[in-house]
Structure 1
Amino acid sequence: MTNWIMKTSTSEGKNGIQWTSKMQLDDLDFAGDLALLSQSQKQMQEKTNSVAAASVAVGLNIHKGKSKILRYNTACINPIKIDGDDLEDVKNFTYLGSIIDEHGGSDADVKAWIGKARAAYLQLKKIRNSKQLSTNTKVRIFNTNVNTVLLSTGAETWRTTKAIIQKTQVFINSCLRKILRIRWPDTISNSLLWERTNQISVEEEVRKKRWKRIGHILRKAPNYVTSLALTWNPQG
């Protein structure tokens, strides 16, 4: 249904962002979540109207309260409307669990994922303090319930600055030290901490995920959307 709506409303291919020399990228879709892309307010309004009309034709309606507008590198502040109602302008929004912001970096997204991982970690307090469970079991539970929250969803796409790697590693190291019951003034080096908990550094983990993702992409056809994204140079 969503595919039909988007094909119908973007068939002319004139209101997207430049993707290749001969093709524009109109939208990113996942199930019922749509991210519409345009180079101007006028184009975005036209596309929004078209998508709304195609949706109504099959008995669906765009949820105005959940629809947000994010502007980048533009001075135009004219609102985008649906049925005469202004859609909310935001500086960031969440798409498929990741935060997209006007700066285009990963800082806000990583901060949010650390927050989610911390919440998951706090739920393991009884397990962490258990005297019946071995350290190995506690670490395995940590990897399954905390590490996967932090590093399994799109970590390979992060813009991995030194600051981002450090923030992420500090959080993980803090969790591991508590699992091993190492508290101030006791100390342990990072290398020994990782050895005792059978971990690798965040930097290495992200690097492995990137190589795995690139391997998947390179096996795709050259005109596949993810293959094109590797060499895409955004305008603006």
Structure 2
Amino acid sequence: MGLQVNNAKTELMRMDKTVDRKEHLEINNVRYGVCRRFKYFGSMADHDNDMETKTKSRIASADRCFYSLQKILGGANIFKKTKMKIYNTIIKPVLLYGCERWSLTKRMEHSLSVFENKVLRKIFGPVDDVDEQAWGRRHNH
């Protein structure tokens, strides 16, 4: 096919938890370095296959996406239904890309929930507190 390996850009990453780690790999007198993590198709891959690193990376990507859409999601001139469609079609896929193979802990599940609540608070805006006759921050319940 005519494909060639770029020796300057190619690195090795072992996906195991062994203590004995080599600093390089040598094949045909070409030395390849070892890396501990890299981004692959938008997901973070690391040497010990840590799911928490991957979920933090996805939350950070979705947060950047959310930040770029903040003016639209916080604007009063767009219907809430439209804002929810924007959230479900733009932000949520960025957040949940590759989630089929995640094994979540309670802490990671909580982090995802915190992010989702942050976005939903922005979409639905403040709540009218009848008792205090003022606008207040929307809470989880």
Band the TM-score falls in, shorter-chain normalisation:
0.7 to 0.9
Indicate the residue corresponding to 1:59 in structure 2: 2
Q: What is the CA distance between 1:173 and its match in structure 2? A: 0.6
For the Cα contact (< 8 Å) 1:105–1:159, is it kept in 2? no
The TM-score with structure 1 as length reference comes to 0.50
Are positions 1:95 and 2:46 aligned together? no
Secondary structure in structure 2 of the residue aligned to 1:66: coil
1:63-117 Cα shifts (integer Å, max 9, x gaps): 2343221233141415213553422211112233322212222111111111111
Equivalent residues, number: 132
Looking at both structures, which has the greater relative contact order when contacts are Cα pairs under 8 Å and sequence separation is at least 6?
Answer: 2
Indicate the residue corresponding to 2:63 in structure 1: 118
Secondary structure in structure 2 of the residue aligned to 1:163: helix
Identity across aligned pairs (percent)? 28
Change (3 A) 1:182 1:92: same
Paired with 2:104 and 2:38, the residues of 1 have a C-alpha distance of: 20
The TM-score with structure 2 as length reference comes to 0.80
Are positions 1:186 and 2:129 aligned together? no
Paired with 1:103 and 1:78, the residues of 2 have a C-alpha distance of: 16
Secondary structure in structure 1 of the residue aligned to 2:24: coil
User: How much is the aligned-residue C-alpha RMSD, in angstroms?
Assistant: 2.2
Paired with 1:82 and 1:94, the residues of 2 have a C-alpha distance of: 24
For the Cα contact (< 8 Å) 2:36–2:46, is it kept in 1? yes
Change (3 A) 1:147 1:111: same
Paired with 1:177 and 1:109, the residues of 2 have a C-alpha distance of: 25
1:125-144 aligned within 5 A: 125-144=70-89
Are positions 1:155 and 2:99 aligned together? yes
